[in-house]
Amino acid sequence: MHNFSAGPCILPQEVMQQAAQAVKELDNSGLSLIEISHRSPAFIDIMERATSLALELLGLQNKGYRAMFLQGGASQQFLNVAYNLLETKAGYANTGTWSTKAIKEAKLLGEVVEVSSSKDTNFNYIPKGYAIPTDLDYLHITTNNTIFGTQYKTLPDTNATLVADSSSDIFSRQLDFSKFGLLYAGAQKNMGPAGTTLVVVREDVLGKVSRQIPSMLDYKIHADKESMFNTPPVFAVYTSMLTLEWLKNKGGVAAIEKENEAKAALMYGEIDRNPLFDGFAAKEDRSTMNATFTLNTPALKESFEGMAKEAGLNGINGHRSVGGYRASMYNALPLSSVQALVDVMKTLEKNA
């Protein structure tokens, strides 16, 4: 099977095998990973390794950042960010479904300015050249829009603390991550199974709001307790650690970026070449993680989907907000899977 699922999504096979073995028995301990105490030395080592790898791969070690593995998904962070950072006014760039949801949550806690939006064309581009107020507590962006297939190629220039939902492109490409005051990402795209969310925060952005923050929403409490304020999702954290080790052994973010660019070039090259298909996202904003496209000849829909199924292509149907198709090409997806999809598209054209 070629797994193009948008999330939960493909993980490296060697990581799956290691995680499966750990569920049976962790490191010859006689105990399963999912039955050991989260306070045990074995799991404390796992958590420390996972957080250290996250900072290392982002180039943020020894730069005043803390990494945490929390629960509730990225959707929980929509509220957490505002609770911890919104004192007077926050700015949000609205580039899709998830930023729309983040805006809704932030409005519960203070003034929110929508500094830009691409809603006018169903979020098929990243807004540019807009004015950013100078009195924001923070500016929130979604670096990659899974549903619509758009991605920031350059970061906004702002004096406000830059906050990002990077759920669907974390660890996929090189950026100057020190420009972010806080970024967060659900694990189920490029890190591990659903159940944990990575939050990376620069320590000096915390502790500046006057409101009382509920303990479970307080980043400082979670940072001080080293992600152990409550029982962490041990399996999701362990599998994320294995995935980050896998990525480091491949050469880190720089190496995987080259692979992702090759996959994207192959995929978009066929979308643009093949007269039966049209890309959805603006070309300059196309995501390397999620290629969205439509079949412009409805009569061939049944044939295309039947051929895709026969070729073992899984998860290529587009989100209902866009329709058409979506090829999610996360870190663990091999180039050969993209080639399998491209071959089907070429065969459809040949037989049309």
231-243 as b/e: b if 16+ CB within 10 A: ebbbbbbbbbbbb
Task: Taking each helix axis as running N to C, give the angle between helix 73-85 and helix 97-106, from 0 to 180 degrees, rounded to the nearest 10.
Answer: 40
Burial (Cβ within 10 Å: 0-12, 13-18, ≥19) of residue 277? buried
pLDDT digits (tens, 9 = 90+) for 6-40: 999 999 999 999 999 999 999 999 999 999 999 99
pLDDT in tens, 182-223: 999 999 999 999 999 999 999 999 999 999 999 999 999 999
Q: At what angle do helices 234-250 and 13-24 cross, to 10 degrees?
A: 140
Phi-psi category of residue 160: left, alpha or beta, with phi > 0 → left and psi -120 to 50 → alpha: beta
Q: Give the chain's residues under pLDDT 70.
A: none
Strands (E), the chain: 2-3, 65-70, 89-94, 111-117, 138-142, 144-145, 150-151, 161-165, 180-186, 197-202, 277-279, 290-295, 313-314, 325-328
Q: What is the pLDDT of residue 257?
A: 98
Which tokens is 140 given? 């929130």
Looking at 63, 104, 120, 165, which residue is catalytic? 165
User: Would you call 276 exposed, middle or buried from its count of C-beta atoms within 10 A (0-12, 13-18, 19+)?
Assistant: middle
At which residue do the structure tokens 């999620």 appear? 290
As a whole number of angstroms, the distance between CA 226 and CA 221 comes to 8
Q: Active-site residue 135, yes or no?
A: no
Q: Please tell me which residue in 189, 218, 263, 285 is annotated as part of the active site.
A: 189
Is 189 one of the annotated active-site residues of the chain? yes
Active site residue 165: yes
Catalytically annotated residue among 27, 63, 89, 98: 98
What is the model's pLDDT at position 14?
Answer: 97
Q: What residue segments make up the domains of the chain, in order of their start?
A: 13-250, 252-351
CATH number for the segment(s) 13-250: 3.40.640.10
Question: Tokens at residue 216, please?
Answer: 């479970």
Homologous superfamily of the 252-351 domain (CATH): Aspartate Aminotransferase, domain 1 (3.90.1150.10)
